[in-house]
Amino acid sequence: MKKILFIFSSIFISQAAFADQPRDWQLGFQNPASGGMRDIVNFHDNLLLPIIVAITVFVLFLMLYACVRFRASANPNPSKRTHNVTVEILWTLIPCLILIVMAVPSFKILYKQDTIPKADLTIKAVGYQWYWGYEYPDENIIFESYMIDEKDLRADQPRLLAVDNEVVVPVNKVVKVLITANDVLHAWALPSFGVKRDAVPGRINETWFKAEKEGTYYGQCSELCGIKHAFMPITVKVVNEEDYQEWLSEARVKFAKEEIENDKLKLASK
């Protein structure tokens, strides 16, 4: 009973609460924080879900109707009919039409995701077993991002999702993400931004997002990559332009690329 209450309360609370991470007993998507994710949620909630519900109800009705109407006691001499051209055409055509109706908006969203607008900044995410490495190629910044152990978490940090070095991006700016991996397949995924791309060794995939709300957003590696697959989360902090510039000036020193490359010991200890 408590679980059911939880589910119902989460449906209503989710309308108001600022959701940037998975919640207990969550149903549906995390709240969108980018235009791309808003499109996906609208497509799912306003088109896919009604179609799914209608089909399910229709099939249930057909089954119940057949069970009652053609039960053995009421129907002692069963029909021997095996074909009906009209019905066969209908049950081929109607599903085709339904698929076309779904395909049009679906492709629209896909193409929108695929064309990257002029980027305000570019970050590169590299998947390693088992953590993420990030680069800001234009700023000469490079750093690694490890999950924080449960015992070291601050009160405001979620378990299994918070990392030591967060990706910081400015709000309302087009962020282009280059995604690759250094060992096995990983996937860089951030539900609130509607972003998920495979990280493939020897290949660079790209995607983009434009975060519309300041806040901290959590994602996870979404391609089974080995024993610690569940422990390489992604944290993106969206801040205003001023805070971003401040972070940049600190990061240019703290995460300067040359220093780490020349620091053999640091590389060897990975």
Contacts with Cu ion by CB under 5 A lie at: 186, 221, 225
Minimum distance from CB of 127 to Cu ion (Å)?
5
Contact residues for 200 (Cβ-Cβ < 8 A; gap 6+): 180, 181, 185
Minimum distance from CB of 199 to Cu ion (Å)?
7
Report the residue number, 186 or 197, with the smaller CB distance to Cu ion.
186
Minimum distance from CB of 266 to Cu ion (Å)?
22
End-to-end CA distance of the chain: 47
- Angle at which helix 85-114 crosses helix 35-43, to 10 degrees, equals 170
DSSP lists the bridge partners of residue 119 as none
State the sign of the Cα–Cα–Cα–Cα dihedral 82, 86, 92, 98.
negative
Minimum distance from CB of 133 to Cu ion (Å)?
12
Minimum distance from CB of 100 to Cu ion (Å)?
36
Contact residues for 91 (Cβ-Cβ < 8 A; gap 6+): none
Report the residue number, 225 or 239, with the smaller CB distance to Cu ion.
225
Instruction: Determine the Cα–Cα distance for residues 6 and 218; give it in Å rounded to an integer.
Output: 22
Report the residue number, 229 or 257, with the smaller CB distance to Cu ion.
229
Q: Is 176 helix (H, G, I), strand (E, B) or coil?
A: strand
Report the residue number, 22 or 215, with the smaller CB distance to Cu ion.
22
Q: What value does the CA radius of gyration of the chain take, rounded to a whole number of Å? A: 25
Report the residue number, 19 or 148, with the smaller CB distance to Cu ion.
148
